[in-house]
């Protein structure tokens, strides 16, 4: 990393600005901002021993590297006057106008938040908050530049501060810089962070690079000359630059398990041409002369990255057996690659620069899309997708708890959403809400910066069903529904008891007789219930049919269908010997069980769950019972040779009371399927079938759908 030279005078800053903006009014405003800040910070020093003004001056200089507009440059010069010198917003407004004031205010607001966490979700949340609080993208540019200058002078702090700052930068700020495509700032921030976060790794890489520098430099130069000659032969105007890989990018590759030599043997070139067409032409010429590595070619011109990056990438066997990573781009593309969204400053267009940077909504969308991508790898539950979508499509608001914690909610949220976001107990026990010291109704729409206090009462009965219509977030709605599901249990209990008694009366069996102690124990054991309540609930919610319960004791009272069913079903299925049917990579002698919840059959996608001291239980990979249990998961697969039958659950729904048991059984006759058991209850048939593979199961299920009155046939997971 080359050491960046600090500037020390306003003249140096103006020279940098003049390279892209020579409007005299703008330059005068920059001078005015400088003088104002210098006076306010007068007499103060930074820990480095420099006059304080050196800091804002260099933050502004960093922003000239991405050709920031004069408003941003002025804001940079003034960025610390509110916090450090108590300058009021109205004073700033009077001196510099609304736009600069609002950027300085925005900066002060996000700068007072401290973002550090070891928790992935919190980190992504912090990124969202930072972006969400910054109405103007220039606030984020300022934050990044401020951090960059602070990192350049981080040596002045002790190790603890250095490490914490470096970690926060890597967690929160560099991903945002990357998504905005500001490569210039991102890559310096990354290298500096690594230097303080993992100094030993950093210096090890630097040393390795130095050892091989000469040889690599020579090879790059040779290759550069060869390619240049070639392109000149084809009359293509071009420039070629050897490209230094950032230390952080090497560190990341090492982390991915690449060896030092693999990385250091990889050299890099970047070719600049004038037109897009020439990019492709250059690519063709290079490929005709140097053998490309298959699958390493990427066309980011036709398919730009979301941060607008465009280039062609290819890797070829080049000079002296070195591999060369070559990037081909136009000068215009290079500007976007280095400055990202900041390349869209537009000084020529009419209207404010803010408008030139695309309108605020569009920017926000772009950011949220980008932030979303940060989480892409982890999107697994629909809830997350939904909440992110509402972040993107609705607006997001940020409100505070009385303690000052930020709570992020979609626009239109109410105190109910707030309460459930804080904790489900808070929601369930809520009796009222106070916003900014005023009592508000529960359907009050929260606004940015509201301070929300929820009043709770432990004797509260719970949420009202009406809240489902008031709440905005799915999170709150789900929790309210969950509360009522619990209540429903009580209803199931009552219905279950009633249904069983009704059926007993119908069969003229006395209650006392049926529930003799020995019978009672047998029923609970057979149906795997721990007590009478559980039995009733399961009858009430339809898991058991009352007859099924009665049959545990009075096996003979069977209907005609049930007798036939007994004949066709095989309850005495020989115990499955699954040895050799499931292959566990690298392990031979291990006990394997088939999970009874999702009952996988051959060809199903499966996954193993290691039970300590017990062996491996094989689940379907979609089984919700193993969700989140990543630690003990092991890869397993079916032995393709197996042709044994395995049990699995299917459920048939009908829209008529007519008994279709016989039809179901008939469908098994020409389809290599054995029915192990059927339970029917009103319009529902619960089957366990034995089947050799998923293809046969699918065919059978399709056959079942052809039966009159059948509305659906599904595989189920208990
Ligand atoms: Mn600062």
Q: Are 481 and 465 in contact (CB under 8 A)?
A: no
Q: In this predicted model, which residue has the larger pLDDT, 107 or 612?
A: 107
Q: How many angstroms separate the alpha carbon of residue 503 from the centre of ligand 1?
A: 78
C-alpha separations of 258 from 204, 293, 474 in Å: 15, 17, 43
Q: How many angstroms separate the alpha carbon of residue 58 from the centre of ligand 1?
A: 10
> Is residue 707's pLDDT more than 70?
yes
Q: How many angstroms separate the alpha carbon of residue 16 from the centre of ligand 1?
A: 20
Q: Are 157 and 165 in contact (CB under 8 A)?
A: yes
Q: How many angstroms separate the alpha carbon of residue 369 from the centre of ligand 1?
A: 28
Q: How many angstroms separate the alpha carbon of residue 307 from the centre of ligand 1?
A: 26
Q: pLDDT band for position 26 (50/70/90)?
A: very high
> Is residue 327's pLDDT more than 90?
yes
pLDDT for residue 377 = 35
Q: What homologous superfamily is domain 10-197 in, according to CATH?
A: Hypothetical protein af1432 (1.10.3210.10)
Dist. CA 570–CA 676, nearest whole Å: 5
Dist. CA 633–CA 656, nearest whole Å: 43
pLDDT for residue 318 = 80
Q: How many angstroms separate the alpha carbon of residue 80 from the centre of ligand 1?
A: 6
Q: How many angstroms separate the alpha carbon of residue 138 from the centre of ligand 1?
A: 15
Q: pLDDT band for position 570 (50/70/90)?
A: very low
Q: pLDDT band for position 523 (50/70/90)?
A: confident
Q: Let me know if the fold of 10-197 is the same as that of 208-342.
A: no
Mean pLDDT of 512-530: 83
Q: pLDDT band for position 347 (50/70/90)?
A: very low
Q: Which among 313, 311, 280, 283 is positioned nearest to 295, based on CA atoms? A: 313
pLDDT for residue 391 = 40
Q: How many angstroms separate the alpha carbon of residue 340 from the centre of ligand 1?
A: 23
Mean pLDDT of 564-568: 55
**DSSP character string of 501-539:** HHHHHHTT--HHHHT-HHHHHHHHHHTT-SSHHHHHHHH
> Is residue 86's pLDDT more than 50?
yes
Q: How many angstroms separate the alpha carbon of residue 6 from the centre of ligand 1?
A: 15
> Is residue 66's pLDDT more than 80?
yes
Q: pLDDT band for position 573 (50/70/90)?
A: very low
pLDDT for residue 13 = 96
- Strand 396-400, strand 406-410: pairing: antiparallel
> Is residue 63's pLDDT more than 50?
yes
**Which tokens go with 43?**
């007499």
Give the position of tokens 């990202």. Answer: 340
Fold of the domain spanning 208-342:
Beta Polymerase; domain 2 (3.30.460)
Q: How many angstroms separate the alpha carbon of residue 85 from the centre of ligand 1?
A: 12
Summarised one tens digit per residue, pLDDT across range 633-677 is: 777 888 888 888 888 999 999 988 777 877 887 787 777 888 877
Range with the poorest average pLDDT among 93-107, 308-322, 360-374, 530-544: 360-374
Mean pLDDT of 496-508: 85
- Strand 582-584, strand 452-456: pairing: unpaired
In the chain, domain spans: 10-197, 208-342, 482-557, 582-638, 646-715
C-alpha separations of 302 from 221, 275, 329, 332 in Å: 30, 14, 12, 15
Q: pLDDT band for position 40 (50/70/90)?
A: very high
pLDDT for residue 166 = 93
**Which tokens go with 224?**
């550069």
CB neighbours of 436 closer than 8 A, spacing ≥ 6? 450, 451
Mean pLDDT of 458-470: 85
Dist. CA 3–CA 21, nearest whole Å: 26
Query: Class of 646-715 per CATH?
Result: alpha beta
Q: How many angstroms separate the alpha carbon of residue 10 from the centre of ligand 1?
A: 17
Q: How many angstroms separate the alpha carbon of residue 34 from the centre of ligand 1?
A: 14
Dist. CA 432–CA 434, nearest whole Å: 7
Give the position of tokens 């790059």. Answer: 220
Q: How many angstroms separate the alpha carbon of residue 371 from the centre of ligand 1?
A: 25
- Strand 266-273, strand 239-242: pairing: antiparallel
What rounded mean pLDDT belongs to the chain? 80
Q: How many angstroms separate the alpha carbon of residue 79 from the centre of ligand 1?
A: 6
Q: What residues does the ion ligand 1 have nearby, CB within 5 Å?
A: 80, 146
Q: In this predicted model, which residue has the larger pLDDT, 101 or 505?
A: 101
pLDDT for residue 4 = 61
Quote the pTM value.
0.50
Q: How many angstroms separate the alpha carbon of residue 150 from the centre of ligand 1?
A: 7
End-to-end Cα separation, the chain, in angstroms: 59
Q: In this predicted model, which residue has the larger pLDDT, 547 or 393?
A: 547
């Amino acid at each position: 990393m080359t050491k960046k030279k600090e500037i020390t005078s306003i003249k140096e800053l103006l020279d940098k600005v003049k390279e892209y903006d020579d409007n005299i009014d703008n330059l005068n405003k920059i001078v005015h901002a400088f003088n104002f800040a210098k006076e306010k910070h007068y007499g103060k020093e930074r820990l480095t021993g420099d006059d304080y003004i050196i800091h804002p001056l260099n933050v502004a200089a960093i922003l000239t590297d991405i050709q920031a507009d004069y408003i941003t440059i002025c804001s940079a010069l003034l960025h610390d006057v509110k916090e450090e010198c108590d300058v009021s917003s109205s004073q700033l407004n009077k001196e510099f106008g609304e736009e600069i004031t609002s950027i300085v205010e925005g900066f002060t607001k996000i700068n007072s938040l401290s973002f550090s966490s070891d928790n992935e979700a919190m980190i992504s949340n912090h990124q969202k908050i930072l972006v969400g609080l910054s109405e103007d993208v220039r606030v984020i540019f300022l934050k990044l530049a401020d951090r960059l200058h602070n990192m350049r002078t981080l040596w002045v702090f002790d190790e603890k501060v250095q490490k914490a700052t470096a970690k926060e930068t890597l967690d929160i700020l560099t991903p945002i810089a990357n998504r905005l495509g500001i490569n210039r700032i991102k890559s310096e921030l990354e290298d500096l962070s690594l230097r303080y976060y993992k100094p030993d790794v950093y210096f090890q890489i630097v040393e390795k690079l130095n050892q091989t520098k000469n040889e690599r430099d020579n090879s790059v130069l040779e290759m550069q000359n060869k390619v240049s000659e070639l392109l000149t032969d084809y009359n293509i105007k071009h420039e070629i630059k050897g490209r230094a890989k950032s230390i952080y990018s090497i560190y990341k590759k090492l982390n991915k398990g690449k060896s030092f030599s693999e990385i250091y043997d990889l050299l890099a070139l970047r070719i600049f041409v004038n037109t897009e067409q020439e990019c492709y032409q250059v690519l063709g010429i290079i490929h005709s002369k140097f053998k490309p590595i298959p699958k390493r070619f990427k066309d980011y011109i036709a398919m730009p990255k979301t941060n607008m990056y465009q280039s062609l990438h290819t890797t070829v066997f080049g000079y002296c057996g070195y591999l060369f990573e070559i990037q081909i781009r136009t000068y215009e593309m290079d500007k976007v690659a280095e400055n990202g969204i900041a390349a869209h400053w537009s000084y020529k267009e009419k209207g404010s620069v803010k408008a030139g940077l695309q309108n605020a909504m569009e920017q926000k969308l772009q950011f949220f899309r980008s932030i979303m991508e940060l989480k892409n790898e982890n999107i697994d539950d629909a809830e997350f997708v939904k909440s992110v979508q509402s972040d993107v499509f609705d607006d997001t608001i940020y409100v505070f708890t009385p303690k000052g914690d930020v709570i992020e909610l979609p626009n239109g949220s109410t105190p109910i959403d707030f309460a459930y976001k804080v904790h489900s107990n808070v929601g369930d026990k809520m009796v009222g809400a106070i916003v900014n010291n005023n009592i508000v109704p529960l359907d009050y729409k929260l606004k940015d910066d509201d301070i929300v206090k929820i009043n709770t009462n432990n004797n509260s009965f719970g949420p009202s069903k009406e809240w489902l219509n008031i709440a905005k977030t799915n999170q709150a709605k789900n929790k309210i529904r969950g509360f009522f599901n619990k209540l429903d249990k009580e209803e199931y209990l009552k219905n279950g008891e009633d249904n069983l008694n009704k059926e007993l009366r119908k069969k003229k069996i006395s209650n006392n007789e049926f529930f003799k102690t020995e019978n009672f124990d047998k029923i609970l054991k057979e149906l795997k219930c721990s007590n009478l309540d559980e039995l009733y609930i399961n009858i009430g919610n339809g898991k058991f049919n009352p007859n099924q319960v009665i049959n545990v004791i009075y096996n003979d009272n069977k209907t005609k269908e049930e007798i036939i069913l007994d004949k066709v079903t095989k309850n005495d299925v020989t115990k499955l010997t699954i040895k050799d049917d499931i292959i566990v990579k690298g392990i031979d002698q291990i006990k394997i069980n088939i999970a009874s919840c999702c009952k996988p059959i051959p060809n199903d996608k499966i996954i193993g769950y290691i039970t300590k001291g017990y062996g491996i239980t094989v689940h379907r990979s979609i089984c919700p019972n193993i969700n989140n249990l990543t630690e003990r998961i092991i890869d397993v697969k079916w032995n393709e040779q197996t042709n044994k039958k395995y049990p699995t659950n299917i459920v048939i729904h009908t829209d008529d009371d007519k008994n279709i048991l016989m039809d179901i059984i008939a469908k098994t006759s020409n389809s290599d399927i054995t029915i192990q058991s059927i339970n029917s209850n009103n319009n529902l048939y619960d089957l366990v079938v034995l089947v050799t593979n998923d293809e046969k199961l699918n065919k059978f299920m399709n056959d079942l759908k052809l039966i009159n009155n059948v509305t659906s046939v599904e595989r189920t997971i208990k």
